[in-house]
Structure 1
């Protein structure tokens, strides 16, 4: 279950943070998933026009067991901002939802937009692109990334809703 939050309220509460523990992603991402509001601890992947690492991630367990119950994780993908290939499509979106992921944020493209909209998963990306990736087995996981100039680290918490996306060094709600 997604906790109740509003990114505007989180920004109001943390607007004076100068430590870098609270960050806001720029408003360049479009909403493609069937879930508008999502949050969870971040898992990172860095890849460029090869979604092998994305596939491996979404086919793995996408949640953590906590004393309060299961908490879905959020996969953040540094696709280098490429608009030439889609890193996530309908099959991988369905796999992510099936495996308990709360959301996927891609600094790059998705495809199979109508399929993604029907999936119970939060999905944000720059654009849609029908061209798939080449599968070269390239990519890295679990490293700090810069997404649109904002640092994203494994274990950060990402909160997304209709107003935008924010990151925090720890859980806020």
Structure 2
């Protein structure tokens, strides 16, 4: 990412939404961008794992875990799979785990926090549906930018 989110907002603010929710940076890359892909799930990461095992083509996966910190939706193995498959980053409205290992991977990961408890794997949820986090809509195919200042998404 060559332009900071602050500069991008100054240039294109009318076209962008800014996520006010404060997420932590956990990945080895703080700045990342790409087209939005989504998963909506609650304490079940089977769809996240399956999707990140497919070609990402530079996309950013936005995971709407409902803000739950009760169990992790992404761990080091799933994040490593995302790297191997060309995903640019992950934005998780929920928890991750294996934060030290994820911090060494060349991928952006933003999340609410961490919890060592793994999630169930029943495959419940939805893929590539619009999700709203803290009043901001993440629509599959729209572009998202993330860096140390925050997250912007096309309206």
Say yes or no: TM over 0.5: yes
Root mean square deviation of aligned Cα: 1.0
- Counting only pairs closer than 5 Å after superposition, residues 55-74 of structure 1 correspond to structure 2 as 55-63=49-57, 72-74=58-60
What is the TM-score with the length of structure 1 in the denominator? 0.87
**The one of 27, 33, 37 aligned to 2:27:** 33
Give CA-to-partner distance per residue, 1:92-135, whole Å, 9 cap, x none. Answer: 00000010000000000000011100111000000011100011
Match of 1:122 in 2: 108
Q: Report the CA distance between 1:14 and its aligned residue.
A: 2.7
**The one of 147, 150, 161 aligned to 2:147:** 161
Q: Which runs of 5+ in 2 are unaligned?
A: none
Which is higher, the Rg of structure 1 or of structure 2? Answer: 1
3-state SS, counterpart of residue 81 of structure 2: helix
Give CA-to-partner distance per residue, 1:11-42, whole Å, 9 cap, x none. Answer: 11233x2xxx4111114100000011100000
Give CA-to-partner distance per residue, 1:117-165, whole Å, 9 cap, x none. Answer: 0111000000011100011111100111001221110011110111111
Say yes or no: does 1:112 pair with 2:110.
no
Q: Report the CA distance between 1:89 and its aligned residue.
A: 0.3
Q: State the alpha-carbon separation in 2 of the partners of residues 167 and 139 from structure 1.
A: 23
Q: State the alpha-carbon separation in 1 of the partners of residues 101 and 134 from structure 2.
A: 26
3-state SS, counterpart of residue 41 of structure 1: strand
What is the TM-score with the length of structure 2 in the denominator? 0.97
Give CA-to-partner distance per residue, 1:53-102, whole Å, 9 cap, x none. Answer: 10011101010xxxxxxxx1000010000010100000000000010000
Aligned residues: 155
Q: State the alpha-carbon separation in 2 of the partners of residues 59 and 125 from structure 1.
A: 20
